[in-house]
A and B are shown apart, each in its own frame.
Chain A
Amino acid sequence: MIVPVERGEFNSQETFLICVESVPTEKAFLTRAKVKPDHYAAELIRTLYDSLFHRSLDLRLDFLSYYQIEYRSFRRYARKRLLFPMSVANTAESQFLCGARMFQFRPSLNFIEGNFGRTFLEGLLDPRRTR
Chain B
Amino acid sequence: MIATQASGQSGPKVHMNVVEALEKISKALGILATQTAIENRAGMYSKNVLAETLLLPVFQILVKAPDLKSLNDTSPTAPFLDLYSKEKKLGIQVTTETTAQKITDTVMGVIKGRPGRKQLVIFLLTTSKPHYKTATKKQWKRLCGKRIRFDPDRSIFAIDGLYASIKLAKEQEIRAIEDVISRSIVGERFIDVEKCLKTLSHRQLDYEKETGKYIPDVFVEKRETKNLARTFAHPALFLRRTLEALVRADNPLRNALLSKAGLPLLTFPPIPQTPQRSLDDTYAVASNLPNQFVELRDILKKYRELTFKDPPPFPVKPERLYYYKESIWPLECLGIFLGYRLDDLMRELSAVSSRILIITGKAGQGKTNLVCDFTENFLLKHGIPSAYISPRMLRSMATADLGDAIQRLLFDNRARSFQEAAELLSQHARLANKPFILIIDGINEHSRISNFAEKLEFVLESAMLYPHIKVLLTCRSEFFQQRFGKLIDGPLKKHVLLLESNDFRVEREFQDELVAGYFSFFKVESSHVSEVVREILKKDTLLLRFFCEAYGAKGKSQGYVQPYIPNIQREDIFEKYLDRKIGAASELWKAATGKTNDSDAKTELREVLVSCIKHMLDNNQYANVPVSAIPVTLSEPLEALLEEELILRRDLAENQSIFSSPDERLNFTFDEFRDFMISHYLVHRVYAKDPKEFERYIQTATPKESQVIEGVKRFLFYAARNGANTKFLEFYESQPWYTSVYSDEVFFVDPRLLTKTDSDKVLECLQSGGSSARSMVTNLAVRWSARVCPHLNLDLLLGFVAQCSDSQFDDIIRPSFRSSWESDDGASAKAFCKFLATSILPKRAPNRRLPEHPLYRLLVILMPVDATPDLNSDAFRLLREIFESNVTYVEDLLWQALDYKMSVHRPYVWRLLSCNQSELADDDPLVKRALAEKSTSTENAVLQQEVSRFLQRRCSNIARENT
Q: Does A69 contact B (CB under 8 A)?
A: yes
B378 touches A65 (CB 8 A): no
Known: A47-B253, A81-B221, A108-B253. A54 touches B378 (CB 8 A): no
A85 x B238 contact (CB < 8 A): no
| B509: Cβ under 8 A from any A Cβ | yes
> A57–B248 contact, CB under 8 A?
yes
* Contact assessment for B509 and A86 in the assembled complex, using a CB-CB cutoff below 8 Å: yes
Most chain B CB atoms below 10 A, which of A11, A47, A80, A85: A80
Taking CB atoms, residues of chain A closer than 8 Å to B807 are none
Chain B residues in 8 Å Cβ range of A10: 504-505, 507
In the assembled complex, how far is the CB of residue B282 from the closest CB belonging to chain A, in whole angstroms?
15
Q: Taking the nearest CB of chain B, how far is it from the CB of A35, in angstroms?
A: 17
Q: Least Cβ distance of B402 to chain A in Å?
A: 32
Among residues of A, the one whose C-beta sits closest to the C-beta of B383 is A69
Contact mask A1-37 → B, CB, 8 Å, 1/0? 0000000111100000000000000000000000000
- Which single residue of chain B is at the shortest CB-CB distance from A47? B253
Q: B725-749: which have CB < 8 Å to A?
A: none
Task: Return the chain A residue nearest B821 by Cβ.
Answer: A9
Residue of A nearest to B376 (CB): A70
Q: How far does the alpha carbon of A56 sit from the alpha carbon of B504 in the complex, in Å? A: 26
**Which residues of chain B come closer than 8 Å to A116, judged between CB atoms?**
none
Is A40 located at the chain interface by the 8 A CB criterion?
no
- Cα–Cα distance between A1 and B212 once the two chains are bound (Å): 43
Give CA–CA (A68, B378) in the complex, Å.
10
Q: Does B823 interact with chain A (Cβ within 8 Å)?
A: yes
Bound CA span A50–B253, Å: 10
Whole-angstrom CA separation of A71 from B381 in the bound complex = 10
- Which B residues are in CB contact (< 8 Å) with A56? 248
Pair A66/B253 contact, Cβ less than 8 Å:
no
Residue A83 is within 8 A (CB to CB) of chain B in the complex: yes
Q: Known interface pairs A10-B505, A54-B248, A85-B509. Does A66 touch B241 (Cβ–Cβ under 8 Å)? A: yes
B3 close to A (CB within 8 Å): no
Q: Which single member of B221, B245, B377, B823 contacts A9 (CB below 8 Å)?
A: B823
Is B767 interfacial (CB-CB < 8 Å)? no
List residues of chain B with CB within 8 A of the CB of A118: none
Q: Is B939 part of the binding interface, using a Cβ–Cβ cutoff of 8 Å?
A: no
- Whether B325 is near chain A, meaning CB under 8 Å from some CB there, is no
Partner of B252, one of A9, A50, A69, A71: A50
With A9-B822, A10-B507 in contact, is A70–B381 under 8 Å at CB?
Answer: yes
* Chain A interface, >50% SS class: loop
Q: CA–CA, A51 to B252, complex, Å?
A: 10
From A8, A66, A80, A81, B238 is in contact (CB under 8 Å) with: A66
- Chain B residues with Cβ below 8 Å from A65 are 240-241
- Other-chain contact of A66, B220, B237, B251, B381 (Cβ < 8 Å): B237
B901 interface residue, CB < 8 Å from A?
no
Range of interface residues on B (Cβ < 8 Å): 20 to 34
**B222 on the A face (CB < 8 A):** yes
Cβ of B761 < 8 Å from any Cβ of A?
Answer: no
Q: B222 touching A69 by the CB < 8 A rule?
A: no
Interchain CA distance A66-B382 in the complex, whole Å: 10
Question: Known interface pairs A47-B253, A66-B241. Does A9 touch B378 (Cβ–Cβ under 8 Å)?
Answer: no
Assuming the A-B contacts A9-B823, A54-B248, are A69 and B382 also in contact, with contact meaning beta carbons closer than 8 angstroms in the complex?
yes
Q: CB within 8 Å of A: which of B213-229?
A: 219-222
Residue of B nearest to A108 (CB): B253
Contacts of B378 in A (CB 8 A): 70
Chain A proximity of B8: nearest CB distance (Å): 59
B64 within 8 A of A: no
Complex Cα distance, B237 from A62, in Å, reads: 12
Q: Measured between alpha carbons, how far is A46 from B426 in the docked complex, in Å?
A: 49
Closest CB in chain B relative to A111 CB, distance in Å? 13
Interface: B508 (CB within 8 A): yes
* Closest partner residue, chain B, to A61 (CB atom): B244
A10 to B222, CA, bound (A): 11
Chain B residue contacts of A51, Cβ below 8 A: 251, 253
Size of the A side of the interface (Cβ < 8 Å), in residues, is: 23
Contact A8:B248 (CB < 8 A) given known A70-B382, A83-B222: no
- Chain B: which residue is nearest A81 at the CB level? B221
Whether B221 lies near A83 (C-beta < 8 A) is yes
Binary contact track B551-566/A, C-beta < 8 Å → 1, others 0? 0000000000000000
CA gap between A62 and B507 in the complex, in Å? 24
Instruction: From known contacts A50-B252, A81-B221, A83-B222, infer whether A9 and B508 are also in contact, taking CB-CB under 8 Å.
Output: yes
Considering only CB atoms, which chain B residue lies closest to A80 in the complex?
Answer: B221
Provide the residues of chain B in CB contact with A70, threshold 8 Å. 377-378, 381-382
Chain A residues with Cβ under 8 A from B824's Cβ?
9
Bound CA span A66–B219, Å: 19
A8 to B245, CA, bound (A): 24
Bound Cα distance A57, B251 (Å) = 13
| Chain A positions 61-108 with a Cβ under 8 Å from a chain B Cβ | 62, 65-66, 69-71, 80-81, 83, 85-86, 108
B-side contacts of A81, CB under 8 Å: 221
A95 to B504: give the CA distance in the assembly, Å: 31
Across the interface, which residues of A come within 8 angstroms of B245, CB to CB? 57
Instruction: Give Cα A130 to B82, complex, Å.
Output: 61
- How far, in angstroms, from A129 to B245 measured CA to CA in the complex? 32
Cα A69 to Cα B248 in complex, Å, equals: 24
A105 to chain B, nearest CB (A): 12
Q: Which positions 231-256 of chain B face chain A at CB distance < 8 Å?
A: 237-238, 240-241, 245, 248-249, 251-253
Q: What 0/1 pattern do residues 243 to 277 of B give for CB contact below 8 A with A?
A: 00100110111000000000000000000000000
Binary contact track B502-519/A, C-beta < 8 Å → 1, others 0: 001101111000000000
List of A residues within 8 angstroms of B238 by Cβ: 66
- Verify A8–B507 contact, CB threshold 8 A: yes
A9 touches B248 (CB 8 A): no
Among residues of B, the one whose C-beta sits closest to the C-beta of A84 is B509
Q: How far is the CB of B697 from chain A (nearest CB, A)?
A: 42
Closest residue of chain A to B222 (Cβ to Cβ) is A83
Contacts of B508 in A (CB 8 A): 9
Q: Is the CB of A9 within 8 A of B251?
A: no
| Chain B residues near A108 (CB-CB < 8 A) | 253
Residues of B within 8 A of A66 (CB): 237-238, 241
> How long is the Cα–Cα vector from A70 to B373 in the complex, in angstroms?
10
A11 to B220, CA, bound (A): 15
Bound Cα distance from A66 to B509, whole angstroms = 26
Roughly how many angstroms separate A8 CA and B506 CA in the complex, as a whole number? 10
Instruction: List B contacts of A62 (CB < 8 A).
Output: 241
> Which residues of B lie under 8 Å from residue A11 when comparing CB positions?
507
Cα distance A53–B171 when bound, in Å? 67
Interface residue ranges of B418-473 to A (CB < 8 Å)? none
Measured CA separation A71–B253 after assembly (Å)? 35
Query: In the complex, what's the smallest C-beta–C-beta distance from B598 to chain A, in angstroms?
Result: 42
Q: List the A side residues contacting B220 at CB < 8 Å.
A: 80, 83
Closest to B382 in A: A69
User: When chains A and B are docked, how far (Å) is the Cα of A69 from the Cα of B376?
Assistant: 12
When distances are taken between beta carbons in the complex, the residues of chain A under 8 Å from B248 are 54-57
Query: Chain B 822-851 against A: per-residue CB contact (8 Å), 1 yes, 0 no?
Result: 111000000000000000000000000000
A22 to chain B minimum Cβ distance, whole angstroms, is 20
B residues 801-828 in Cβ contact with A at 8 Å:
822-824
Which residues of B (493-539) have their CB < 8 Å from a CB of A?
Answer: 504-505, 507-510
CB of A55 within 8 A of CB of B251, answer: yes
CB distance from B63 to the nearest CB of A (A): 41
11 contacts between A and B (CB under 8 A): A9-B822, A9-B823, A51-B253, A54-B248, A55-B248, A55-B249, A57-B248, A65-B241, A69-B381, A70-B381, A70-B382
The 9 A-B residue pairs with the shortest CB-CB distance, nearest first, are A8-B507, A69-B381, A55-B248, A9-B507, A70-B377, A55-B251, A70-B378, A66-B241, A69-B382
B interface residue numbers (CB < 8 A to A): 219-222, 237-238, 240-241, 245, 248-249, 251-253, 377-378, 381-382, 504-505, 507-510, 822-824
Known: A10-B504, A11-B507, A57-B245. 13 other contacts (CB 8 A): A9-B505, A9-B822, A51-B253, A54-B248, A55-B248, A62-B241, A65-B240, A70-B378, A70-B381, A70-B382, A83-B220, A85-B509, A86-B509
